[in-house]
């Protein structure tokens, strides 16, 4: 497996674009994105668990109920959520795009992100769709990645090349996510494309399985979004024998998918609103996977721990505190904690109690951009990883006037 360029356009038969259509006042920012497969593709998606859901999620779920789609359209800057005519707007976006592309409206995945509760005008979207289609390109992945950004500070994309059944295949993805990021699914917008031939049922199985250890283990601020999802299209143009059951080919596909999703998780967490550091909590020694995941999530979601990491303060007591209220069945007298980064690693807790360590060395380790929090809770065989970020002054600044 190797990393390749192209993002969502790396796989055969995919083109993308991103333009400014007028949703945002700032004309230098793209506010709508499009991804299209040259052939109808199998499709799968997972959706937010928030009871308040954006209208596009309902429309998308209906559209891909048959397991197929051919295009993805997403606007940014104004979320189609909590609007009386939200379903109508989402369906109009599908119909307008379908007409322009010459495909059924029901073969369109529709998404939306931005401020919640603001009326969304279809006019700029309708006016922008022809240009969006006109600019479709094999080099359009970056433009699409930019078109879905809200408070993101960097574009998020990746693609990898791998082999299935002797055929060279590719899978790529783009994502947006900076705030309102919290388990469980989904807590961001992620669009994945692949040229692997795989049945809709197996594609859905792969995605639902993967998110349990990737997107469901990512948190920025404890707020689960209302309008986000993860979707994947697979057009089969790589020419492999269709994956219809578990086996070596399905395993190879799962590994490639996981490579893409882990990379995007890390980018989302590291680009959290106002964040200066990516935090990764690795829990080992658990008696079962559920316990490991519960502990890792609790640590990464602790506001006190996140604030300590911002200040490069090796306040390991906050790690134990988060473990203690996690609800996991853990013997706190067996917990070991250490902090690590590119500057080295330092043990701060053994068997649930503090150990002597150099505060100066610890601070140097915690001043790095990527911090690993290592937690061992026993001698079990199970482990889990969660991703998050530090909590800074800028998070409050960004969200204090987000709507206005």
User: Known catalytic residues?
Assistant: 187
- Strands 108-112, 68-75: pairing is parallel
Whole-angstrom distance, CA of residue 108 vs CA of residue 110:
6
Nearest CA-CA partner of 187 in 272, 253, 118, 120: 272
Whole-angstrom distance, CA of residue 349 vs CA of residue 358:
13
Whole-angstrom distance, CA of residue 402 vs CA of residue 399:
5
How many Å from the N-terminal Cα to the C-terminal Cα in the chain?
45
Q: In the chain, helix, strand, coil percent, each to 5?
A: 35, 30, 40
369 close to 195: Cβ distance less than 8 angstroms: no
Whole-angstrom distance, CA of residue 72 vs CA of residue 93:
10
Nearest CA-CA partner of 307 in 368, 369, 364, 390: 390
Give CA 393 to chain center in angstroms. Answer: 24
Whole-angstrom distance, CA of residue 40 vs CA of residue 68:
7
């Amino acid at each position: 497996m190797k990393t390749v360029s192209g993002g969502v356009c790396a796989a055969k038969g995919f083109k993308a674009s991103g333009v400014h259509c007028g949703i945002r006042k700032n004309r230098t920012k793209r506010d709508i994105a499009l991804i299209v497969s040259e052939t109808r593709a199998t499709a799968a998606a997972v959706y937010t668990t928030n009871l308040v859901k954006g209208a596009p999620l309902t429309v998308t779920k209906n559209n891909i109920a048959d397991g197929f789609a051919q295009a993805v359209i997403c606007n940014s800057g104004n979320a189609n959520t909590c609007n009386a005519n939200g379903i109508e707007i989402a369906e109009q976006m599908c119909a307008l795009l379908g007409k322009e592309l010459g495909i059924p409206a029901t073969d369109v995945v529709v998404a939306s992100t931005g401020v919640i509760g603001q009326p969304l005008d279809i006019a700029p979207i309708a006016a922008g769709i022809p240009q969006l289609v006109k600019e479709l390109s094999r080099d359009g992945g970056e433009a699409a990645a930019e078109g879905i950004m809200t408070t993101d500070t960097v574009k998020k994309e990746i693609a990898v090349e791998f082999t299935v059944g002797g055929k060279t295949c590719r899978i790529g993805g783009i994502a947006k996510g900076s705030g309102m990021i919290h388990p469980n699914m989904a807590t961001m917008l992620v669009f994945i494309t692949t040229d692997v031939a795989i049945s809709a049922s197996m594609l859905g199985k792969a995605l639902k399985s993967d998110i349990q250890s990737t997107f469901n283990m990512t948190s920025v601020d404890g707020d689960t979004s209302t309008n986000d999802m993860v979707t994947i299209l697979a057009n089969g143009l790589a020419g492999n024998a269709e994956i219809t059951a578990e086996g070596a080919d399905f395993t190879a596909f799962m590994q490639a998918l996981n490579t893409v999703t882990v990379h995007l998780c890390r980018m989302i967490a590291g680009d959290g609103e106002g964040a200066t550091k990516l935090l990764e909590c690795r829990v080992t020694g658990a008696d079962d996977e559920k316990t490991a995941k519960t502990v890792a999530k609790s640590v990464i979601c602790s506001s006190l721990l996140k604030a300590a990491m911002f200040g490069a303060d090796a306040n390991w007591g906050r790690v134990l505190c988060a473990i203690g209220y996690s609800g996991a069945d853990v013997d706190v007298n067996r917990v070991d904690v250490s902090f690590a980064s590119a500057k080295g690693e330092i043990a701060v807790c053994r068997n649930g109690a503090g150990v002597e360590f150099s505060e100066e060395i610890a601070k140097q380790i915690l001043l790095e951009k990527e911090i690993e929090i290592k937690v061992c809770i026993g001698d079990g065989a199970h482990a889990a990883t969660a991703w998050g970020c530090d909590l800074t002054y800028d998070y409050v600044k960004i969200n204090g006037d987000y709507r206005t």
